[in-house]
Chain A
Amino acid sequence: MPKPLLSARYRVVVRDPKGRIKYIEEAPSKSFILNLLYWWWLCFNLNGSDVISVVNTSGQQTTQTLSQPMGWTGITGGTAPPYSGVQVGSGTSAPSASSPYLESLIVSGTGSGQLSYGTNDVTSPSLSSNPGTIQDTKTFTNNSGGTVTVGEIGLAIQANNGITDTHMAALIIHDVLSSAVSVPNGGTLTITYTMEVNT
């Protein structure tokens, strides 16, 4: 049975307001989406007019024109938008290869149904042995005043317009949790994506 060139897994941890762990889920990531291949394709074709589907800094679905000299800036480069790196949503439908978005993105904030997005903690790549690994962790805090339910998660990179220096987030991995998890008011949700390359 062949091993994938690239695979990923995720870990979800929910804590109550006192920091006690209430829920843990670990699973292999099942869904890389088309945007990943667009990313690679544009590595060879970036010509200043290419467009990719993204969410903007407000969490709205839109498109981004990629211009030289800056097309992609990883997860945390430059002025990273909140939705770069790990994203969360309330949807529970199976991901679609050609859908570049979470079904229902949870917007960063303290309003009803919202979660405050923390910063991305991207580890230094481990490349000394096979498989090579890298991790991205983000913690979401619920200051909404009520319980927030998360059903889907994803990982996004930054698509940058080099002319206007506008950074937006392009989803490359989309996973649905085994069951939706509730983040209590005052509690936190920490998600770690670990990716592996096999050589």
Chain B
Amino acid sequence: MAVTLVKIAKHRRNKELEAGVYGYIKFKIIDHGKVVFRSKRQMHSLTGIWFGMLWAGQNAFKATYVAYSPNSFVILSPATCSGNGEAFWFIASTPYVGIVVGTGQNAKAPDNYTLAAPVMSSSTGLSYSPLMMSSPTVSGNISTLTMSRAFTNNGSSPITLTEAAIVVYLSNGNSTIIDMDAALAYDYISPSITLAAGQTLTITYQIQVTT
């Protein structure tokens, strides 16, 4: 009986740091010009939106998404965000693209693209500064993308933040245009961070890839 020899090469997963994409969130609170709080935490959750970006044009990508309208978030039922080809493009044209914070907590799941209770930018409450980004950098085998945004409590009461997300703007790009904001990454702020009246919180995301 003939025997066919098949060469099989299998690799065990690295028991140290697994290759891939990692992320960190830094928090800094400034009160009257002085830094009163610093914390660096690990990011835990990318969402399936990333797959939608890869999958665009292949099939309709259906997601529960968040729209802005224009000063409030509206949770919409599942809808299609992909067309016959040119799908998913990204611009910072909406006020809530980038880092967004909230006071709720959604279940962490690959198909959760929303904050539970996003806090809107307000001149009398929590105001959002522009998103700050720089082009990615390389150091050895680590590449890093950094983005940050400052939030100032203009109100008279403390605000306790329990969730944060990186929100991207999507469009199907075809004749039936559907635009939306959706979370590319979602994390609990745990332990929570309370911002007293007059304080400014700067959140910095660092996303790193290993080569």
Contacts and interface: CB of A to CB of B under 8 A. Distances in A.
Interface of A: 1-8, 20-34, 36-47, 68-80, 95-98, 122, 124-125, 127-132, 134, 136, 157, 160, 162, 174, 178-179, 195, 197-199
B79 to A, nearest CB: 15
B19 A32 contact: yes
B10 interface: yes
A77 B85 contact: yes
Contacts of A97: 138, 140-143, 209, 211
B105 interface: no
Interface in B132-157: 133, 135-136, 138, 140-145, 147
B5 to A, nearest CB: 8
A132 B209 contact: no
A5 B19 contact: no
Which bracket fits the contact residues of B?
A: 35 or more
- Of A25, A34, A42, A128, the most chain B CB neighbours within 10 A belong to A34
Contact of B16 (A1, A6, A195, A198): A1
Given A34-B143, A125-B51, A4 B21 contact: yes
A75 B59 CA distance: 11
Given A95-B211, A178-B9, A198-B46, A31 B19 contact: yes
Contact of B58 (A5, A20, A41, A74): A74
B91 interface: yes
Contacts of A46: 89-91
Contacts of B211: 30-34, 95-97, 174
A69 B171 CA distance: 9
Contact of B173 (A25, A44, A70): A70
Contacts of B48: 125, 127, 132, 197
A129 B13 CA distance: 21
A113 B41 CA distance: 49
Contacts of B85: 73, 77-79
B19 A28 contact: yes
Nearest to A94: B211
